[in-house]
């Protein structure tokens, strides 16, 4: 997509997200707070639907995976053992003219040079030096940068530290999976899990991102949905292949168009990794990472065995063997999923010489399933419409709306992706029927009120 159209699509999605109560910039009345977002009334419904879809696929439909909700704060020793206090960093340079900070690997990527955050400081500086004349400061446009330095992304807190200079900061977790690793033996002991098995969790993660960008794509506070699957060493790659296929299907089941997805294999693997692939989505600026699926060997549990001094071994009773299991993981951001789903569903159509904006969300993740609308605000209509709302609200997520003209209300429901609108009009008083409008086809059907619930159950099945 051309740069201008790219920006145009981004602007349209960000504007709809704000206008229709999906996503607001954090602290907006104080001028904002970079890299942090609030989810509005429609956003929280969409987010919850995406999370419960993931939970259904990753926990409830699987007899071999269990859930967990570990704490955000953990002992700093965990982040030392995992390598985050030393290695969890991105290369950063500062514009000497206006002090704007840039992520050097991303700036290089934008000019077509392959770089990644795992490169050594020396290697990335060489690439940066060689290409400095092609990289401009995004703020002032000058080309006068400091050397690239690795910047650690962990966010520190003063939890439990009552001194002035906080020498052993507790971190806000930088990824949710560490809480899974350190509970591995608890889950084995309490749930009698046998290999291969998985532990899944959804929760907040925090990263001091150098340049949060592209809306929800790279935020400083975000949620992750992570599943760590523990295997015998020899089964790792077989299970890895199965997990990749399973996650692809799960993403398609969110209603995503397959042509907007692709696989990308990591070129620069960390030393312990066996293989690493991302599922990429075609965001307005092009394909970029949505989810990571990695084969991690036995690195994580080995590090925690060393860190805490207790072997994180699995005991296989049948084979009478003790060993550290290997891990494959699937890791995906909730915000990135919300963004991908919004991009995929956003549609503009010409209707009667006007542009209709409609979110063609899969019905199961639409924030509101049924809008219930009296044709006018007259009490003879609003009262029975409210009764209809009350009779349906326990079966479907419904919204009652009586403000503005019916045409405007339909447009509003289109923009939040509501699959069905039900209108109670003056004829309804005589024929005990209502009009049901389909979001995608805009076709309207007259349905007996007594049959509406079954009709919707069938449609939303």
> How far is the C-alpha of 168 from the C-alpha of 266, rounded, in Å?
34
Query: What would the two tokens of residue 347 be?
Result: 């549609």
Least distance to ligand GAP, CB of residue 296, Å: 9
The candidate with the shortest Cα–Cα distance to 329, out of 404, 277, 398, 263, is 277
Which of 22, 222, 229, 230 binds ligand GAP (CB under 6 A)? It is 222
Q: Which is nearer to ligand GAP, 228 or 385 (CB)?
A: 228
Other CB atoms within 10 A of residue 430 CB = 7
Residue with tokens 């991105």: 90
Interface residue with ligand GAP among 173, 207, 409, 437 (CB under 6 A) is 207
Contacting ligand GAP (CB under 6 A), which of 97, 116, 117, 289?
Answer: 289
CA atoms within 13 A on the CB side of 168: 9
DSSP state of 403: S
Comparing CB distances to ligand GAP, the nearer of 335 and 417 is: 335
3-state secondary structure of 286: strand
Q: Cα 317 to chain center, whole Å? A: 39
Residue closer to ligand GAP, measured from CB, 207 or 326? 207
**Total interface residues for ligand GAP by CB under 6 A:** 19
Min. distance of Cβ 287 from ligand GAP in angstroms?
Answer: 13
Is 292 a binding residue for ligand GAP by CB under 6 A? The answer is yes
Minimum gap (Å) between residue 30 Cβ and ligand GAP: 22
Residue 103 beta carbon to ligand GAP: minimum distance, rounded to whole angstroms: 11
Stretch that binds ligand GAP, among 284-292, 307-315, 375-383, 395-403 (CB under 6 A): 284-292
Supply the DSSP string of 357-400, one letter for each residue: EEE---GGG-S-SEEEEESSS-HHHHHHHHHHHHHHTTTS-EEE
Instruction: Give min distance, CB of 116 to ligand GAP, in A.
Output: 11
Decide whether 256 or 392 has the Cβ nearer to ligand GAP: 256
Specify whether the CB–CB gap between 371 and 418 falls below 8 A. Answer: yes
* Cα separation, 416 vs 345, whole angstroms: 10
Pick from 70, 331, 418, 428 the residue near ligand GAP by CB under 6 A: 331
Stretch that binds ligand GAP, among 39-47, 196-204, 289-297, 452-460 (CB under 6 A): 289-297
Min separation Cβ 45 and ligand GAP, Å: 20
H/E stretch holding 42: helix 41-55
Judged by CB under 6 A, does residue 209 bind ligand GAP?
yes
Residues 335-364 that bind ligand GAP (CB under 6 A): 335-336
Cβ 411 to ligand GAP shortest distance, Å: 31
Give 326's strand partners. 231
Which one, 102 or 452, has the nearer CB to ligand GAP? 102
Interface stretch with ligand GAP, choices 76-84, 91-99, 218-226, 426-434 (CB under 6 A): 218-226
Distances, alpha carbon 148 to alpha carbons 121, 138, 403, 407, in Å? 7, 16, 55, 55
Task: Please identify, using beta-carbon distances, which residue of 143 and 260 lies nearer to ligand GAP.
Answer: 260
DSSP summary character for residue 131: H
Contact pick of 42, 108, 172, 219 for ligand GAP (by CB under 6 A): 219
Nearer to ligand GAP by Cβ, of 273 and 442: the residue is 273
Site for ligand GAP in 71-100 (CB under 6 A): none
Q: Does 282 bind ligand GAP (CB under 6 A)?
A: no
Span 377-436, contacts to ligand GAP by CB under 6 A: none
Output the DSSP codes for 418-443.
-SEEEEE-HHHHHH-EEEEEETTT--
Query: Do strands 420-424 and 398-400 pair parallel, antiparallel, or not at all (unpaired)?
Result: unpaired
Determine if 226 is a binding residue for ligand GAP (CB under 6 A): yes
CB 435 within 8 A of CB 449: no
Q: What is the smallest separation between the CB atom of 399 and ligand GAP, expressed in angstroms?
A: 29
- 218 lines the binding site for ligand GAP (CB under 6 A): yes
Q: Is 179 in the site for ligand GAP (CB under 6 A)?
A: no
In this structure, are residues 359 and 49 in contact, taking their beta carbons and an 8 Å threshold? no
Query: What single string gives the DSSP state of each residue in 224-266?
Result: EEEEEEEE-GGGHHHHHHHHHHHHHHHHHTTT--GGGEEEEE-
> Which residue number, 89 or 224, has a Cβ lying nearer to ligand GAP?
224
Residues near ligand GAP (CB under 6 A) are: 175, 177, 207, 209, 218-219, 222, 224, 226, 289-292, 329, 331-333, 335-336
């Amino acid at each position: 997509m051309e740069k201008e159209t790219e920006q145009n699509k981004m602007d349209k999605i960000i504007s709809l997200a704000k206008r229709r109560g999906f996503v607001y910039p954090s602290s907006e009345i104080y001028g904002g707070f970079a890299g942090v977002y609030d989810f509005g009334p429609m956003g929280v419904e969409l987010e919850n639907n995406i999370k419960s879809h993931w939970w259904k696929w990753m926990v409830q439909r699987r007899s071999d995976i269990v859930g967990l909700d570990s704490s955000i704060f953990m002992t700093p020793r965990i982040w030392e053992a995992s390598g985050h206090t030393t290695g969890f960093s991105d290369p950063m340079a500062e514009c000497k003219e206006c002090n704007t900070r840039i992520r050097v690997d991303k700036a290089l990527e934008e000019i077509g040079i392959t770089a990644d955050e795992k490169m050594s400081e020396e290697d990335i500086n060489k690439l940066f030096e060689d290409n400095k004349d092609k990289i401009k400061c995004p703020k002032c446009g000058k080309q006068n940068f400091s050397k690239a330095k690795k910047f650690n992304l962990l966010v520190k807190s003063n939890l439990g530290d009552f001194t002035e200079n906080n020498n052993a900061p507790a971190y806000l977790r930088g990824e949710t999976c560490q809480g899974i690793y350190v509970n591995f033996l608890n889950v084995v002991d309490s749930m009698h899990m046998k290999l291969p098995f998985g532990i899944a969790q959804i929760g907040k993660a925090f990263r001091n991102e150098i340049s949060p960008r592209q809306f929800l794509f790279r935020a400083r506070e975000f949620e992750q949905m992570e599943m760590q699957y523990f295997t015998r060493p020899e089964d790792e790659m077989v299970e890895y292949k199965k997990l990749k296929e399973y996650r692809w299907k799960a993403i398609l089941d969110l209603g995503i168009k397959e042509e907007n997805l692709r696989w990308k294999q990591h070129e620069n693997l960390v030393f312990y990794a066996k293989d690493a692939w991302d599922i990429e989505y075609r965001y307005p600026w092009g394909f970029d990472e949505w989810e990571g699926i990695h084969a991690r060997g036995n690195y994580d549990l080995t590090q925690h065995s060393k860190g805490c001094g207790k072997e994180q071994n699995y005991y296989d009773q049948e084979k009478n063997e003790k060993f550290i299991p290997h891990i494959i993981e699937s890791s995906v951001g909730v915000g990135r999923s919300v963004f991908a789903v919004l991009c995929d569903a956003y549609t503009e159509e010409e209707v009667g010489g006007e542009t209709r904006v409609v979110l063609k969300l899969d019905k199961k993740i639409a924030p509101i399933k049924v809008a219930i609308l009296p044709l006018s605000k007259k009490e003879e209509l609003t009262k029975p419409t409210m009764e209809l709302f009350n009779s349906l609200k326990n079966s479907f997520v419904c919204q009652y709306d009586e403000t503005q003209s019916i045409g405007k209300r339909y447009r509003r429901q289109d923009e939040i992706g509501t699959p069905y609108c039900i209108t109670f009009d003056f004829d309804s008083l005589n024929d005990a029927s209502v009009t049901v409008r389909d979001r995608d086809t805009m076709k309207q059907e007259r349905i007996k009120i007594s049959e509406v619930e079954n009709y919707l159950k069938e449609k939303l099945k």
